[in-house]
Chains A and B, each alone.
Chain A
């Protein structure tokens, strides 16, 4: 249901759009703020659990700027909802938005440029993270909140039992998958899932892919670039020969496979412990985390999967106050400690990644006490990401095309081309110029 709903929403929201504008031409100056004197009331659409409690901390200290959190459901549907509200000039002051949604929101003129309001916040974040909130311009459209550096998770006990070791390169990874199939044909190292596009995007990002870049005033779509093709062919090959499974993630069957040790590894991100806690409760303390395998031995890069920002909308009548809150929320040590505790996020601010709030490993990974120390080191190696104004279209195309290719185990080459074509066609339909 949510699939059709999403499509309907996306299609209607696009139809409602008053006309797409080129990236460089958008964003509002935000100069028409009402004077922020006297008590100001801000609304904030967010999905992170416990965000209202974090906002309460702020409200206690800042009686002049009252922030009310209105909890929403995360995902592409929320992006459509924000755009629709923005068209009607009814958007809230602040929104939580994933990194890859920012260009879509900006090209619909939903987000305000807050570069003047936030001062030197930039130094608190890794450049690869910050660059995603500027979209390569002088403007700043959001303050990073959490990030999802990708890692390799594996069942330490079962790896030992089958005489395997954590792979350091993708070549090793393929060999490990084949070795496991030989020793235990009913098990699989992991699965290639086509139901979460973020995973594939992160893997491509690690390989150096740049899916959307600006070339003059045209968009250049690199979904079919050599780096992405390398990733697609690698996984397509593994699926084709049956070395890894082809079933989607986050299903009851997948939970069971992890819980019973039918799948013994997972390429995931820093938030995996939380997912594993509910998906595979009986495997507590049996997992270990390692850096993502590399394409070239000795390299040190990872992608990111998930993560979000706090953005101020063009509809906000108190942009300065909203930007002040967004900065506090994502850089103040007390706020970040509360976010870690209440919302379970992995903060994007570099100082917080090694702070006291993250001193202890997640309960599920108590066997790896230096979990967050290693995570912080891995987070520093995040490759830059580049998003465009129709990530949702590319993601939907990925789910459709790769699901079919994975099911029939027929290689991913054609699916990747189809995904690129769908993305380019949609950009053109929206009125963007696309470089060949």
Chain B
């Protein structure tokens, strides 16, 4: 992304003039190399998972690391057959937690971000600062207090116990305010008021469409965060029928010292677990690439 920006000539300048770099198409070698290294660093483990999932149990640790094996179909069948297909149940649970959780969280973030950006009220900055502090707080350390609170309400070991704590995301609210502040001109809101639209109508008809690229970002962030979340469901849930995939696969890895870990199943399961994420990104991408400021008012 940034190499692209660098390579393109800045608007208003004529390429090839004596100032600046001589050629418009010269690639910056060092940044490109650094980015390539970074990409390799991120993609190599994925490639490993891809290759390892094709290996049968006997091939996994004995053949060359990046040599594809012959057991992919068997691994898939074994994973599907493991405890009567509980993996698919975990997958469905993950989809529920991540899908519904991200949706609710996006709604809350949009509402509160919009309110914080466009309404002036006493304590606005104080509220926003508290939320900012919440961004700095890793969700991990909240898991046990949240568990104890849920226990007081008698709600542990339920779907709600995992969903509820995920709905309010400080980071989402923070992003919501930034996007709302950047994308919605106050003039537009005021024009709506002058025309007699109610506050709800202004929010739903004017603000939400303008914020939508930002909301998609919040949704994706939250979806990925919940999809990968481990500690909260690990603490909250005792019933393995309600586990999301992360916690479920963990039970395959630690089966006690006298039982070997089911590596092939875990690796195949991990591979399948990233497929929905990739699909989601591909589908949502087109809503996402819109310019934040492609709005109604040009300044």
Contact = CB atoms under 8 A, between A and B. Distances in A.
Contact of B151 (A8, A88, A281): A88
Contacts of A92: 238
A271 interface: yes
Contact of A70 (B62, B239, B258): B239
Interface in B181-235: 230-231, 234-235
Contact of A73 (B58, B157, B250): B250
Nearest to A199: B257
A74 interface: yes
A344 B231 contact: no
B171 interface: no
B255 interface: yes
Nearest to B251: A73
A231 B138 CA distance: 42
Contact of A281 (B62, B230, B239): B62
Nearest to B247: A73
B67 to A, nearest CB: 14
**Candidate in B58, B240, B255 with the most chain A CB atoms within 10 angstroms:** B255
Nearest to A345: B258
Contacts of B62: 255-256, 259-260, 281-282
A88 B147 contact: yes
Nearest to B264: A278
A13 interface: yes
B57 A74 contact: no
A57 interface: no
Interface string A345-360: 1100000000000000
B256 A81 contact: no
B298 to A, nearest CB: 48
Interface stretch (A43-51, A152-160, A170-178, A391-399): A43-51
A312 to B, nearest CB: 16
Given A16-B144, A85-B238, A90-B156, A74 B254 contact: yes
A84 B147 contact: yes
B254 A73 contact: yes
A48 B238 contact: no
Contacts of A47: 251, 254-256
A146 B257 CA distance: 11
A294 interface: no
Given A49-B255, A73-B253, A90 B151 contact: yes
Contact of A71 (B141, B148, B240, B253): B240
A305 B156 CA distance: 34
Contacts of B41: none
Contacts of B61: 252, 255-256, 259, 279
Nearest to A198: B257
A274 B261 CA distance: 10
A75 B254 CA distance: 7
Given A256-B62, A259-B61, A278-B57, A308 B256 contact: yes
A8 B140 CA distance: 9
Contacts of B57: 278, 281
Given A71-B251, A279-B61, A84 B258 contact: no
A354 to B, nearest CB: 19
Interface residues of B, number: 33
A374 interface: no
Contacts of B147: 84, 88
Interface string B249-282: 0110111111110010000000000000000000
A279 B260 contact: yes
Interface string A225-269: 000000000000000000000000000100110011000000001
Contact of A88 (B148, B253, B255): B148
A271 B141 CA distance: 37
A377 B88 CA distance: 45
A260 B157 CA distance: 46
Given A72-B240, A90-B157, A256-B62, A305 B235 contact: no
A7 to B, nearest CB: 11
A29 interface: no
B7 to A, nearest CB: 38
A144 to B, nearest CB: 14
A278 B263 contact: yes
A43 B140 contact: no
B200 to A, nearest CB: 40
Interface string B13-40: 0000000000000000000000000000
Nearest to A268: B257
B260 A281 contact: no
B258 A346 contact: yes
A329 B140 CA distance: 37
A81 B258 contact: no
A367 interface: no
Interface in B43-66: 57-58, 61-62
Contacts of B259: 48-49, 271, 274, 343-344
Contact of A45 (B83, B231, B238, B258): B238
A275 interface: yes
A303 interface: no
B231 A48 contact: no
B101 to A, nearest CB: 21
A73 B251 CA distance: 4
Contacts of B141: 8, 12
B144 A13 contact: yes
B219 to A, nearest CB: 26
A90 B236 CA distance: 10
A120 to B, nearest CB: 28
B256 A74 contact: yes
A306 B258 contact: yes
A306 B151 contact: no
Given A256-B62, A282-B62, A74 B144 contact: no
Given A256-B61, A278-B263, A271 B251 contact: no
Contacts of A343: 259
A12 B142 CA distance: 10
A167 B230 CA distance: 46
Interface string B140-183: 11001001100110001100000000000000000000000000
Given A71-B240, A88-B151, A281-B57, 8 more contacts: A5-B231, A47-B256, A48-B256, A52-B83, A74-B256, A259-B61, A274-B260, A279-B61
Q: Which 6 residue pairs of A and B lie closest in terms of their CB atoms, listed nearest first?
A: A88-B151, A271-B258, A306-B257, A255-B61, A73-B254, A281-B58
17 contacts: A5-B231, A8-B141, A13-B144, A16-B148, A45-B238, A47-B256, A71-B251, A73-B247, A73-B253, A73-B254, A74-B257, A87-B148, A92-B238, A256-B61, A271-B259, A281-B58, A343-B259
